[in-house]
Amino acid sequence: MGQKVAIAGATGAVGTELIKLLEQRNFPVTELRLLASKRSVGKKLRFKREMIAVEELTKNAFEGIDIAFFSAGASRSVEFCPAAVKSGAVVIDNSSAFRMDEGVPLVVPEVNPEAAFNHQGIIANPNCTTIQMVVALKPLHDAAVIKRVVVATYQSVSGSGASGMAELERQVAEYAAGTPLKREVYPVQIAFNVIPHVDVFLENGYTKEEMKMVNETRKIMSAPSMMVSATCVRVPVFRAHSEAINVETERKLTANEARKLLENAPGIKVKDVLEPGGYPTPHEVSESIDTWVGRIREDISVTNGIAFWVVADQLYKGAALNAIQIAELLESRRK
């Protein structure tokens, strides 16, 4: 018995990946309803062998729907998710709207799968940078209890949506042509540059993106006292985010122990060879369903520390794939 599925924000970067992955993973869809703003109504998107017309996202658009994926931004989620729940759908929301709400589970299936079954109609999909980090933290935390995490991210422009990707591509062409580089999405040039600024600045000096990593990590891992500090950086890469992570644990872990734990953990692929190219990079990890880990070594600045490098496709594991894996969890309990 299949599911009637809706995607709110179907024409966006994550929405189109949701459509593709629902097909690739053979999720049991009996009906797919594609929803977007009025300007996209009538546009047709392919699912399996069918071309499906986009309908307008309204509060009445969820009648008969079992699962509603939302990837239309936080304001749209706040406006329309309650209507979807009222219609009887389970909402899996990719925005930041409900992530820190006490009654809304924040779920990464490799880390806290049981939380998905404690929903009251809405399940939140974490931030892309948080997802790939907690997948890698989980086996280390289970084995040695992580006290402190310091992370620097290297975030691709697709994290800003299609407009971010278009800006990088345009600026590279403008640079090659010797014409002035136009800025619309980012405050400074992104081509051949790095920008230590993702999302808005907060009073404590961190950005909203950085504090998402702090608060979401604690919630997902049920570790309210875990110390987390993040620096989020936008880099001129089209797809897949990278992170340099240092953790301090209560119990000593050797690099070999950490490597084995990561190799045996669900959803992780380890590429860790001490030679040029013996580590994962965004280029090769794009459109991979796994979270890739490399550069695993003991952190020589603390007594019990491990340093490592994590790369994942933030449109897949960081967004659409994680959402579908949550739906698959719910489906497994339904059978």
Q: Residue 90: which residues within 8 A CB-CB, separation 6 or more? A: 66, 67, 68, 119, 121, 122, 123, 330
CB 120 within 8 A of CB 104: yes
Q: DSSP string of 124-188? A: EPPPHHHHHHHHHHHHHHHHH-EEEEEEEEEE-GGGG-HHHHHHHHHHHHHHHHTPPPP-SSSSS
CB 221 within 8 A of CB 138: yes
Quick check: is 241 catalytic?
Answer: yes
- Confidence (pTM): 0.96
Specify which residues 44 forms β-bridges with.
53
Q: What's the pLDDT tens digit per position in 258-284?
A: 999 999 999 999 999 999 999 999 999
Specify which residues 207 forms β-bridges with.
201
Select which of 81, 119, 128, 232 is catalytic: 128
Domains of the chain (ranges, CATH numbers): 3-126+319-334 (3.40.50.720), 130-314 (3.30.360.10)
Count CB atoms within 10 A of the CB of residue 271.
17
Q: What's the pLDDT tens digit per position in 222-240?
A: 999 999 999 999 999 999 9
User: What is residue 334's predicted lDDT score, i.e. its pLDDT?
Assistant: 76
Q: What's the pLDDT tens digit per position in 183-207?
A: 999 999 999 999 999 999 999 999 9
Select which of 81, 119, 141, 241 is catalytic: 241
* β-strand pairing of 55-56 with 29-36: parallel
CB 84 within 8 A of CB 91: yes
